[in-house]
Amino acid sequence: MPEQDIDFLENQIPALSGAAVNMAYANTLASGGSVLEAKGGAIYEIFSNGNQRLVKQIEPPVPVQQGQKILLS
């Protein structure tokens, strides 16, 4: 496969993975399940009826530049 084709396909990965996550989220709620979502420095359990339950306070997200490497401890 030509390098140009590989680059094109690799560039599609973020959009495809984002769509897959959104579909899994919607399908889980539609089937009556719940999902966990991190927002505002906390993890919430989101239920299919729209209710939310605080699960845990967490550290705020760390902003990074694309390609930046950070050490996780």
DSSP output for 2-41: -HHHHHHHHHHHHHHHHHHHHHHHHHHHHTT-EEEEEETT
Looking at residue 24, its pLDDT comes to: 97
Of 52, 20, 56, residue with least CA distance to 34 = 52
> Is residue 63's pLDDT more than 90?
no
* pLDDT 10s digits, 27-51: 999 999 999 999 989 999 999 999 9
In angstroms, rounded to a whole number, what is the distance separating the alpha carbons of residues 54 and 62? 21
pLDDT of residue 28: 97
Cα–Cα dist 28/67, whole Å: 32
What would the pLDDT profile of 2-16 be if each residue is shown by its tens digit?
A: 999 899 999 999 999
Q: Please tell me the predicted confidence (pLDDT) of residue 61.
A: 83
What mean pLDDT is predicted for residues 54-71?
A: 90
